[in-house]
Amino acid sequence: MLACGVALACADDDNNPADSDTETSTGDGDGDGGDGDPGDGDGGDGDPGDGDGDSGDGDGDSGDGDGDSGDGDSGDGDSGDGDGDGDGDPACELSELLDQALWDEMFLHKNDPACEGSNYTLAGLLAAAADYPSFACEGDEATRRRELAAFLAQISHETTGGWANAPDGPHSWGLCFIEEVGCANNGCPQYCDPNNMQYPCADAKTYHGRGAIQLSWNYNYGQAGDALGVDLLSDPDLVKNDPKLALQTALWFWMTEQLPKPSAHDVMVGAWAPSADDEAQGRLPGFGMTTNIINGGLECNMPGNAAVADRVGFFTRYVDLLGTDPGDKVDCDMMSPYG
């Protein structure tokens, strides 16, 4: 998955679960295109058989291990400094916005036989969010619900098993895949950068896409592990086997700025002020900007991009289910990606 970034996975096409193509082109887990952020990906083909897999493309701007906020140290967690712990509203509880019945309605097929999403649980998300108290807890209730919808939409696209004619629609198949298809049992050794001395690859371990953000590459596992206090280099399978870490790695990415990119959290809660250059490039707050952060190099400033449409489709569905509005700048078709 992700070539140079933290790592996500995606899908968009009209294939069905029976296809199970497991190809290794960009978007199916080869990690050779892209802008390098955690969920960047090229869009894949979206069927449950290949795990949508677009998370592996990478432009290299996040996670190259040099220690700045977008590529290595992850900061301390506040939304302004890249670590994501923030303060939030002490009275805020994510469970106020998302209960088990709504979770089940959102992710109708994550436990489908064609999927492998059983370790994506509401309890895991709530446990992960407890370490990021600002998540979905800043701003008014509409803002809180909108951020939650945005986060769930992005990880749904990254892990989707849906296709155009899928039962219940393509946007009912989020959180289908926990691991890059074809890479189980250390089957994808290509995600090791042997030149990264800060986060060296462990013997007999591979760093392919895992979890809701499809974390990929040794340096990204190392960075996420540092931020979360877990040795993911030695045991990368924790990201797929631990229900909390499966979602916490995605929250880590969501809450962490990757300079010059802001954090997706800051974008959605109105804490990011675009620079003059951002404005000139069409980079303005809204769901579209979170897509730009995740995979702008392959998806933004491209009217009609199918992967973007899939992301927006998930977002629209979750906005409706959460009873909020989508806000401004839902698309990124007129936004330039970061260099």
Q: Which residues are catalytic?
A: 158
Q: Which are the contacts of 141, defined by CB distance < 8 A and separation ≥ 6? A: 324
What size, in residues, is the chain?
339
Strands (E), the chain: none
Which tokens is 173 given?
Answer: 């198949």
- Between CA 49 and CA 181 the distance in angstroms is 8
Let me know: does 258 contact 62? Beta carbons within 8 Å.
yes
Which tokens is 283 given?
Answer: 């980079």
For 172, the 3-state DSSP assignment is helix
Phi then psi dihedrals of residue 226, to 5 deg: -60, -45
**285: cis peptide before it, omega within 30°?**
no
Handedness of CA 17, 18, 19, 21 (dihedral sign): positive
- Between CA 218 and CA 158 the distance in angstroms is 19
3-state secondary structure 105-166: HHCCCCCCCCCCCCCCCHHHHHHHHCCCCCCCCCCCHHHHHHHHHHHHHHHHHHHCCCCCCC
- Between CA 323 and CA 258 the distance in angstroms is 30
Q: Beta partners for 210?
A: 179, 215
For 210, the 3-state DSSP assignment is strand
Let me know: does 2 contact 39? Beta carbons within 8 Å.
yes
- Between CA 147 and CA 193 the distance in angstroms is 34
